[in-house]
Amino acid sequence: MTNMNKFKSGIFAAASIFALFSAGAQADAGEAVYKKNCMACHQANGQGMAAVFPPLAGNSNITDKPAYIAETIVKGKSGKVTVNGAEYNGMMPPMAYLSDADIAAVVNYVNRKFASGSKEVSAAEVKAVR
Ligand code: HEC
């Protein structure tokens, strides 16, 4: 292998490690934001609380709708929502004070971990729903 090729594969390896690391770091950041800001109501496994806080786990309203999840966090939510046949009529306070990056991380965490989705949202896209 020439030195140039070694150099290129070194860069490639470093870039792959960085990509893995940043995906992992975002998942952890999302979990941390969830624990701090959402878990009190939506519970540790996103199961919610019957008749009071709707579940995020298995909630088909939110699967792969990252813009909707982001908007709910930024603007809050009130009025009737039906989740898997059960009705909720509560109030979620707006949390616009969270940073775009924290909201993106928690949206991606909730969508992937609880709602079986895979669509990701970026901090720039969160900014656009504000
Ligand atoms: C103080 C309690 C509370 C906190 C904290 C809270 N929520 Fe909620 N959330 C609710 C309630 C209550 C509703 C339903 C509002 C309604 O009935 O209109 C809701 C609704 C939602 C919905 C819409 C569900 C649907 O089926 O349309 C999403 C998504 C959501 N919350 C995500 C989050 C995320 C993510 C966080 C943390 C960043 C969070 N919530 C923090 C109480 C809370």
Domain count, the chain: 1
Domain around 28: 3-129
Question: Own/partner pairs for 44-47, CB < 8 Å, 24+ apart?
Answer: 45/114, 46/110, 46/113, 46/114
CATH of residue 121's domain is 1.10.760.10
Does the beta carbon of 73 sit less than 6 angstroms from any atom of ligand 1?
Answer: yes
Strand, coil or helix: what is 73? helix
Alpha carbon nearest to ligand 1 atom 18, residue: 78
Q: What is the pLDDT of residue 22?
A: 64
User: What's the average model confidence in pLDDT over 94-115?
Assistant: 97
Does the beta carbon of 54 sit less than 6 angstroms from any atom of ligand 1?
Answer: yes
Q: What is the pLDDT of residue 9?
A: 73
pTM of the model: 0.86
Q: What is the pLDDT of residue 20?
A: 64
Does the beta carbon of 114 sit less than 6 angstroms from any atom of ligand 1?
Answer: no
Res. 29: pLDDT tops 70: yes
Does the beta carbon of 41 sit less than 6 angstroms from any atom of ligand 1?
Answer: yes
